Structure 1
Amino acid sequence: MTTKSKNPLESSATHLLHRAGQRAADIFAEEAKKSGLTPRQYAVLTAVSQEEGLPQAELVARTGIDRSTLADIVARLLGRGLIQRKRAKEDGRAYAIKLSAKGTKALTKAKPAASTADSRLLAGLSATKRNEFLQTLATIVAAGDDA
């Protein structure tokens, strides 16, 4: 016999995704503390590493980080010498972002910690459930991108 919870938050996708996000951020912070990167900084560095010279507007699209938050992250990464920014050739109003040598080193150092954080976060799921979960999350994200 199953008992229904009286707490409506336990069946709220919005709430549960928020809580899962908090847990993911906490685990990432614990694992990646030596790298000094936040999950969003890691996401930006990873996106830039995939295609250097991306304009900030494209980084917004690829990472899902809002424009003003991304501008702050870029400023912090610039201040730490992890990225370089210059005017884009195609659009003189836009900035193209690329990793510095220091940024490449920081990203390389943080990758194992990020991988461990993902493994810890998903440890309670079987391999099949992990794949299903990640596909479901990707579907939710893609649906938002189409809106």
Structure 2
Amino acid sequence: MSEVSEVSEESFVAWTLVRASHVVARGFTAVFAQVGLTPTQFGVLAHLADEPALTQAELARRVLVRPQSLGELLVPLLERGLVSRDGPGGRGRRSGIAITDAGRELVAAALPGVRRFEAGLGLDPGQLRTLDDLLHTVLRTLGEDG
């Protein structure tokens, strides 16, 4: 039997992961739209809630965007008072980014929707933990930036 005859969409874990990623991203986009955020903006706020005063470069690595792209991503969060910057920022300047009380409140407001979405994945709590562990292994192995 040739390799080509053994090819099906179920035979590639990475392809299944890509497909699942698209479905989850669509669902998460809808969840976060209810609180006026994108999934990446939520990721920024969640990381800052967990790790106060990250630099822009550190935060970019955490949410898997380029530092230049993070600058654009931060503008609406700064304008809405969800994050603050402890310096002028800008190209080549090291500045810390911190979540504000309003940002923490918005993360808290989003969490029930996140939990409902995760409950709708069809996995029990143990399976969710296992999936989370496996996906973190993939991210670490690929260096979180592929």
- Give the TM-score band, short-chain normalised: 0.7 to 0.9
Deviation at 1:94, TM superposition (A): 1.1
1:118/1:69 CA distance change after superposition, 3 Å: farther
Residue of structure 1 aligned with 2:140, choices 134, 139, 142: 142
Q: Which residue of 2 is the match for residue 99 of structure 1?
A: 99
Distance (Å, rounded) in 1 between the aligned partners of 2:126 and 2:100 = 38
User: TM-score scaled by structure 2?
Assistant: 0.78
Structure 2 residues without counterparts, runs of 5 or longer? none
Aligned 8 A contact 2:35 2:106 in 1: yes
Task: Give 4+ residue runs of structure 1 displaced > 6 Å after superposition.
Answer: none
1:93/1:28 CA distance change after superposition, 3 Å: same
Provide Cα deviations, 1:6-33, integer angstroms capped at 9, x if missing partner: 7633333333222211111222233333
Aligned 8 A contact 1:24 1:117 in 2: no
Distance (Å, rounded) in 1 between the aligned partners of 2:70 and 2:8 = 34
User: TM-score scaled by structure 1?
Assistant: 0.78
Deviation at 1:136, TM superposition (A): 1.1
- Give the letter aligned to residue 50 of structure 2: Q
Equivalent pairs counted in the alignment come to 138
1:144/1:109 CA distance change after superposition, 3 Å: same
Q: Which residue of 1 is the match for residue 35 of structure 2?
A: 35
Is residue 56 of structure 1 aligned with residue 56 of structure 2? yes
Q: Which moved more, 1:29-38 or 1:49-58?
A: 29-38
1:100/1:131 CA distance change after superposition, 3 Å: closer
Specify the SS of the correspondent of 1:145: coil
Provide Cα deviations, 1:68-112, integer angstroms capped at 9, x if missing partner: 332221122112221111229xxx821211112321221111111
- Give the letter aligned to residue 114 of structure 1: V
Is residue 130 of structure 1 aligned with residue 117 of structure 2? no
Distance (Å, rounded) in 2 between the aligned partners of 1:7 and 1:22 = 21
- Give the letter aligned to residue 143 of structure 1: T
Distance (Å, rounded) in 2 between the aligned partners of 1:76 and 1:6 = 48
